Amino acid sequence: MANKVYNMAGGLHSAAAYAAFEDSMYGTCVAGDSSFAVSAGTGMNVVIAPGDGLISTGTGFARRIGADASNTVSLSAASSANPRIDSVVAYIDNSVTPSTSVVDNTNGILKFKSVAGSPAATPSAPSTATIQSSVGAGNPYMILANVAVAKNASAAGTITDVRKVAGWVRLQLSTTDIGEGAPLPEGTLYGVYEES
């Protein structure tokens, strides 16, 4: 057991000292509503906005990430038979060696990619196992958005934002009657009112 004081002069600091507090509070998240937001680009491309965030490593601390310019990611060609849903992710490539000679590890450790879901009549987003396999075993990642890819599409379809924003709760107001006893959809705010 060790009792720790991280931010005093002297002594070495671990990777956990840098972001264990934020990881405990927020987990994997982005710093603000515009950080790493995904939007449609040209053709089968999506654009990831610059921003800052945290990606949990699963070991009690997170890695701080940042990008000071947009990144473009290509979706794979659409199926001619069925639609699919792709996930756009940010991940840390642990196979790239960190270096003290490269400021803030701008040597390709933080990467972005799309992970294609399986085409189906009623498609679903890729599973965590599919995403982990695509980004590499042991590489921590964050899902930024899910993108609908229609059959024979030549451009990205509906983009569903799935980022967690640190310290924010994103609610969607719905006026649709879901029926008595029905479960509430996640992230949706419902109210009861009477008309007079």
Task: Kindly report the backbone phi and psi dihedral angles of residue 48, in degrees, each rounded to the nearest multiple of 5, phi listed first.
Answer: -105, 120
Cα 165 to chain center, whole Å? 10
Lowest mean per-residue pLDDT among 53-57, 60-64, 70-74, 101-105: 101-105
Task: Kindly report the backbone phi and psi dihedral angles of residue 80, in degrees, each rounded to the nearest multiple of 5, phi listed first.
Answer: -90, -5
pLDDT for position 84 = 97
Residue 6 makes CB contacts below 8 A (sequence gap 6+) with 13, 17
Q: Is 0.85 surpassed by the pTM of this model?
A: no
pLDDT for position 86 = 98
Confidence of residue 92 (pLDDT cuts 50, 70, 90): very high
List the chain domain ranges. Answer: 15-168
Lowest mean per-residue pLDDT among 13-17, 52-56, 93-97, 158-162: 13-17
pLDDT for position 169 = 58
pLDDT for position 168 = 60
| Cβ 165 vs Cβ 49: under 8 Å | no
Q: Is 68 left (phi over 0), alpha (psi -120 to 50) or beta?
A: alpha
